[in-house]
Amino acid sequence: MHNQGIGSWPGRRAQLSPGRTAFVYEGAAVTYAGVEARSTRAAHRLREAGVRPGDRVAYLGPNHPAFAETMFATHKLGGVFVPLNFRLSATELDYVLDHSGASVLVHAPECAATAAALTVRPPTALGLEEYEEWLATGDPAPLDVAVSRDDPAFILYTSGTTGRPKGAVLTHANIIWNTLNLLVCLDIASDEVTLISAPLFHVAALNQTLLPTFLKGGRSVIMPKWDVDVCYELTAKHRITWMFGVTTMFAAFAQSPRWADADLSSLRILMAGGDPVPEALIRTYQERGLVFCQGYGLTETAPGATFLEAAESVNKAGSAGLPVFFADVRLVRPDRTETEPGERGEVLIQGPNVTPGYWRNPEATEASFSEGGWFHSGDIATRDEDGYVSIVDRLKDMYISGGENVYPAEVEAVLFQHPALAGCAVVGVPDEKWGQAGRAFYTLRPGTTADPDELRSFLASRVAKYKVPLYFEEVDSLPRTGSGKIQKQKLRDLPLPPAT
* Region 193-197 average pLDDT: 97
DSSP state of 467: G
Output the pLDDT for position 28: 97
> What is the distance between the alpha carbons of residues 6 and 10, in angstroms, rounded to a whole number?
8
Mean pLDDT of the chain: 93
pLDDT, greater one: 279 or 367: 367
> What is the distance between the alpha carbons of residues 320 and 391, in angstroms, rounded to a whole number?
7
Nearest alpha-carbon partner for 486 in 425, 420, 410, 398: 425
Q: Residue 162's pLDDT band (boundaries 50, 70, 90)?
A: very low
> What is the distance between the alpha carbons of residues 243 and 41, in angstroms, rounded to a whole number?
31
H helices present in 168-319, as ranges: 172-185, 203-205, 211-216, 228-238, 247-255, 279-286
Pick the CATH number of 397-492 from 1.10.3130.10, 3.30.300.30, 1.10.565.10, 3.40.50.300: 3.30.300.30
17 with 57: CB under 8 angstroms?
A: no
283 with 337: CB under 8 angstroms?
A: no
Please say whether the dihedral angle defined by the alpha carbons of residues 32, 36, 41 and 45, taken in this order, is positive or negative: positive
In single-letter form, the type of residue at position 304 comes to G
Using CA atoms in the order 59, 61, 66, 68, what is the torsion angle rounded to 10 degrees? 60
Nearest alpha-carbon partner for 308 in 338, 273, 343, 274: 273
Output the pLDDT for position 481: 77
167 with 360: CB under 8 angstroms?
A: yes
Output the pLDDT for position 191: 97
> What is the distance between the alpha carbons of residues 142 and 273, in angstroms, rounded to a whole number?
37
The pTM score is: 0.86
* Region 33-60 average pLDDT: 98
> What is the distance between the alpha carbons of residues 457 and 423, in angstroms, rounded to a whole number?
18
Sequence-separated (6 or more) residues with CB below 8 Å from residue 363? none
Output the pLDDT for position 443: 96
pLDDT, greater one: 318 or 188: 188
117-131: b (≥16 Cβ within 10 Å) or e: ebebebebbbbbeeb
> What is the distance between the alpha carbons of residues 9 and 130, in angstroms, rounded to a whole number?
26
**Which CATH number applies to 6-383?**
3.40.50.12780
Domain with CATH 3.30.300.30 in the chain: 397-492
Output the pLDDT for position 499: 66
Nearest alpha-carbon partner for 163 in 32, 322, 353, 358: 358
* Region 396-416 average pLDDT: 85
Q: Residue 102's pLDDT band (boundaries 50, 70, 90)?
A: very high
Output the pLDDT for position 56: 98
Beta strands 399-401 and 389-394, pairing class:
unpaired
Domain with CATH 3.40.50.12780 in the chain: 6-383
221 with 65: CB under 8 angstroms?
A: no
**Lowest mean pLDDT across 130-144, 241-255, 272-286:** 272-286
Give me the phi and psi of 166, to 5 degrees please.
-105, 145
Bridge partners of 430, per DSSP, are: 436
Give me the percent of the chain exceeding a pLDDT of 70. 98
442 with 455: CB under 8 angstroms?
A: yes
Q: Residue 161's pLDDT band (boundaries 50, 70, 90)?
A: very low
Output the pLDDT for position 279: 83
> What is the distance between the alpha carbons of residues 206 and 302, in angstroms, rounded to a whole number?
10
347 with 304: CB under 8 angstroms?
A: no
| Count of Cβ atoms closer than 10 Å to residue 164 Cβ | 13
Q: Dump pLDDT digits (tens) for 383-404.
A: 999 999 998 878 788 888 877 8
